[in-house]
Structure 1
């Protein structure tokens, strides 16, 4: 809290004169900034610098999935879109609703910060403190920003691989209604609705959604279908007290019930069974925004709260509730942004985070250990400067103090330069990331209070070229990241057990024993020869290897070497829109020892939509057109050919 008090005192000091006022809603968590982003297409971002920032001034690698893309591709889950992002791969234990991981540039899924409207939603009750993307639906998500590379200077712990920011529909200045309903294969039904408006000083956006499917068997060789039911709600309010002061209130709720397959007796191998999982997630945010000195000094103080609960049930077990996990995060933070001089802007802030968890497995019942907790106090600062036309330089630092192991300092710097007004752009960045040990790794039966933070250092460099009056754009980026102090489980049931295994009743513990390196190339091409026709492609080469003792040179699990995505869309003169997506993912290894091979696959999808009047649109799609059989995790199935159709209403 000392850091927070220091920055709050700083906020009271008058800002230096500036010459270019900015939007009072400058913070990446303010409703005004989120609204600007959702309406901008690919012109501005809010994740890279935690402020509203033109994409042309960002030196790090970032991909924007805007509302038009989400609508065009008829996506139901973010995973469908994230697998198309350069440098990103996914793995899932079955169909929709089952556990899913997102790997950015080879980093573990638990080393990715997940945000909803700028609020961190990683779950402290999971073993490594990550976020499960499996139960997340697109619903009323209107935009996704994917920041690639270590990003802990601004986003703190876990941002070793990157950041995924999911932005929901924001309030509008006029009445807007959006709704859709669809159905199709596997007994699937899906509906969402959202309404937004402004009445006097109050702007609001409220929505909800429901999804159900009979699904497929999570076990690839099974016959029993594993279904999913999910419902959720989103709300965002902004109250303008004056032209310079406003209050934001936001909430997000999700509840799901997913059938899963496990390892039933007597064989204890993956097979059909009656297990299911119930998950609930609640996110709340309240913030006060104040713009001083004609908008040159922008301030935000906010409080965010996340509450997750996961329960696993096995009706055939003597103990039906086989797992209970509860995780809570409470965070208070201040962020300021000031125009120091022409072309120079500083962003700074402080955070205090309190995390708690409770995790009990069937082995622990009926015992009920108390929740355990930890605190992190953080302070950060970043300066963005444009010394000459076309050149933007960014540098920043962060300090974090963890209540269990002490302090950690991170640094980052980047630059972007265009000598010809944006036709050619050069980008480069050096960034650092860290991840504190999860509460489970510290306090569970396998916990180790001597754990140190995981660390990563990364850099990338690339060039983007535009031609044909912006109708052609190509980019290429090389990246490299090294990680150390990675936390892994050490079993005491080995030939040479560790000294810590003496009197270790749990049979193992967590320790900082691993190292890794990832490097590769990302290439994207976009072409729009005529207004009605758009084609884009992305390619990633990834070399992700284990550098740990005894496993040097082995490939990291579930990280494919090559991935390619091709999208093509055409708008016909009579109103019909058609499109196709082809995705190729090469083979990879399912396990650390590189003994279980995951075969590569190619997926093809078709889509079409047709307007009926001004407000209605009918649409349909076919996923996995050629009914390809594939796995992203050994033993777990993925959906075959499927067809869906629906109707959209917008006003």
Structure 2
């Protein structure tokens, strides 16, 4: 029956989180906007001010400031870029853009490719680290990232030029008043690039257009209508495996990307009751022009969902909701579709010093059946400004459409499952004069999906899947420590520091690689920044990113050496409208690799101007 309730709710339909709450706000904890201190889970929010200080269109320059995050990129900007959280693979991290699930259902592991993003259209990035499938269902095993696009009250524009003949431009315009908040933002990148193959000499270029819009209209004091949309169109040059050697080298290969999503909805808020309902669509298409391996991949999902919160006596509140999703994919010669419905509820106590929340979720998938998920978290103010946090969360990831329905599919696959535990202590919020956070966590996973090759082994399913098939076999553990420190040393002088220790292990019984580290998961990562701003409009900044050793493959046979990257930034506000800025990336011209065999950027300088009113 809940299926029809969601379809009815979609006529109201939802958009993005509430826009008018003070302090640091999270939506990833419960699905509705609430203060970060109302959850015991680890949440970090990066705002537009910090994004502009970092400079550049590449969103990884911002995300790498978050603890517990890793990313891999197979070539220059515009190449496949994947995010990992707390040692989890990219397919186990859910990415939302203005509340729309952006993970691509056509990919074998349903990841989201960060290369689709441009900081020009982003207002904030919120990352919840740890399982939260009670609220978000499938894919929220490692974490949940919510990206909110810009609402500009006025207009702004910028242009920059620099290394690899990269031209970057952005523009944003909008208005906010008591009745209407609406804005458009856009970004453009055109880069000559560098060789995708580390051994190559041919430059691989990149061009992409990004457009985002978001609006909210207050019909009454209690009812708001909302809408948002985004569009990405790009083309990137890649390398391949040309004859006669068929090894990774320079090749005439390109990939075209077209991705769009949209959502319409309404928010009803009368204080003791808040309802947020919506209908969204997300579609991603890739076409590869590879003479040896041409491909065309298209994934689409449509979703109706409802989030609600009701205030109860005794400082209690009930968060609830449900959704229904239709998804399909095409990856020639394969195609398929599935649907899934769910309901969830969380009961929370929100006292003056103690916060405790617990809840559960039920999913009903058209192919693998039903799945229950449980989670709980709490926080206690042990002293003014100091919070002790703890959380337990179960995560699950449904088998992807490709894993279920392709020529390598296995209809008997079970969802991947995880149990996560964490405890932490924090003081203040990010951006405060003093901000401290320390978290220890462990996540155990089972039923991890792997590929069985019928060329190197035999199994009954090889009779109908002669090249191989996906199957449940894996177990794994990821555990570690995350630390964040933010300090305001003096007026205009501040620093930030983040350290992550991540220990991963393949714990699959009988696996030849049992005991090995997960691929491309460095144990140690440090990011730090120092910023100074004068009263005369001059600002200087320095960033450093240190990444420890890692292995490129599951056998731990290929090592990725540690590296340290430094950036220098500067900006000068000429007047209220004009700002000059520039930076030097990789100031030490470090030769490094984040994926074996793929090229990375050397030292590069960029200069630009920004206008705003």
Q: TM-score, normalised to structure 2's length?
A: 0.96
Shift in Å at residue 247 of structure 1?
1.3
Q: TM-score, normalised to structure 1's length?
A: 0.90
* Equivalent of residue 475 in structure 2, options 511, 515, 520: 515
Aligned with 1:275: secondary structure? strand
Aligned with 1:639: secondary structure? coil
Using a 3 Å threshold, how does the CA distance of structure 1 residues 10 and 576 change in structure 2: closer, same or farther? closer
Structure 1 match to 2:513: 551
- 1:201 & 1:581 partners in 2: Cα distance? 41
- 2:161 & 2:192 partners in 1: Cα distance? 12
Q: Is residue 586 of structure 1 aligned with residue 526 of structure 2? A: no
The answer as to whether partners of 2:82 and 2:111 remain within 8 angstroms in 1 is no
Using a 3 Å threshold, how does the CA distance of structure 1 residues 532 and 203 change in structure 2: closer, same or farther? closer
The superposition leaves residues 567-599 of structure 1 with CA deviations (integer Å, 9 ceiling, x where unpaired) of: 100112422100000110001000000000011
Using a 3 Å threshold, how does the CA distance of structure 1 residues 8 and 127 change in structure 2: closer, same or farther? closer
Q: Is residue 129 of structure 1 aligned with residue 110 of structure 2? A: yes
Q: Is residue 327 of structure 1 aligned with residue 305 of structure 2? A: no
- 2:419 & 2:48 partners in 1: Cα distance? 33
Structure 2 match to 1:205: 183
The superposition leaves residues 213-232 of structure 1 with CA deviations (integer Å, 9 ceiling, x where unpaired) of: 00110001110001110002
Using a 3 Å threshold, how does the CA distance of structure 1 residues 9 and 97 change in structure 2: closer, same or farther? closer
Structure 1 match to 2:612: 650
Aligned with 1:523: secondary structure? strand
The answer as to whether partners of 2:6 and 2:323 remain within 8 angstroms in 1 is no
- 2:501 & 2:516 partners in 1: Cα distance? 16
519-528 vs 141-150, greater mean Cα deviation: 519-528
Shift in Å at residue 82 of structure 1?
1.5
Shift in Å at residue 268 of structure 1?
1.4
* Equivalent of residue 36 in structure 1, options 20, 23, 27: 20
Shift in Å at residue 146 of structure 1?
0.7
- 1:52 & 1:301 partners in 2: Cα distance? 14
Shift in Å at residue 335 of structure 1?
1.7
* Equivalent of residue 422 in structure 2, options 460, 475, 484: 460
Structure 2 match to 1:73: 54
Q: Is residue 608 of structure 1 aligned with residue 586 of structure 2? A: no
Q: Is residue 338 of structure 1 aligned with residue 339 of structure 2? A: no
Number of residue pairs the alignment of both structures matches: 609
Q: Is residue 530 of structure 1 aligned with residue 490 of structure 2? A: yes
* Equivalent of residue 498 in structure 1, options 450, 453, 459: 459
The answer as to whether partners of 1:607 and 1:622 remain within 8 angstroms in 2 is yes
Shift in Å at residue 123 of structure 1?
0.5
Structure 2 match to 1:350: 322
Uncovered stretches (5+) of structure 1, i.e. residues with no partner: 12-24
Aligned with 1:411: secondary structure? strand
Q: Is residue 407 of structure 1 aligned with residue 370 of structure 2? A: yes
CA RMSD of aligned residues (A): 2.1
The answer as to whether partners of 1:619 and 1:647 remain within 8 angstroms in 2 is yes
Aligned with 1:273: secondary structure? strand
Shift in Å at residue 177 of structure 1?
0.8
- 1:181 & 1:10 partners in 2: Cα distance? 42
- 2:538 & 2:563 partners in 1: Cα distance? 30
Shift in Å at residue 200 of structure 1?
7.5
Q: Is residue 300 of structure 1 aligned with residue 294 of structure 2? A: no
The answer as to whether partners of 1:99 and 1:135 remain within 8 angstroms in 2 is no
Structure 2 match to 1:376: 340
Shift in Å at residue 407 of structure 1?
0.3
Using a 3 Å threshold, how does the CA distance of structure 1 residues 90 and 31 change in structure 2: closer, same or farther? closer
Structure 1 match to 2:381: 418
- 1:203 & 1:536 partners in 2: Cα distance? 32
- 2:374 & 2:101 partners in 1: Cα distance? 21
The answer as to whether partners of 2:307 and 2:319 remain within 8 angstroms in 1 is yes
Structure 2 match to 1:87: 68
The answer as to whether partners of 2:15 and 2:264 remain within 8 angstroms in 1 is no
The answer as to whether partners of 1:480 and 1:517 remain within 8 angstroms in 2 is yes
Shift in Å at residue 199 of structure 1?
6.9
Structure 2 match to 1:144: 125
* Equivalent of residue 220 in structure 1, options 164, 177, 198: 198
- 2:539 & 2:497 partners in 1: Cα distance? 19
- 1:208 & 1:255 partners in 2: Cα distance? 12
The 5 A counterparts of 1:257-268 are 257-268=235-246
The 5 A counterparts of 1:147-226 are 147-170=128-151, 175-198=153-176, 201-226=179-204
Using a 3 Å threshold, how does the CA distance of structure 1 residues 605 and 260 change in structure 2: closer, same or farther? same
Shift in Å at residue 343 of structure 1?
2.1
Shift in Å at residue 7 of structure 1?
7.4
Structure 1 match to 2:94: 113
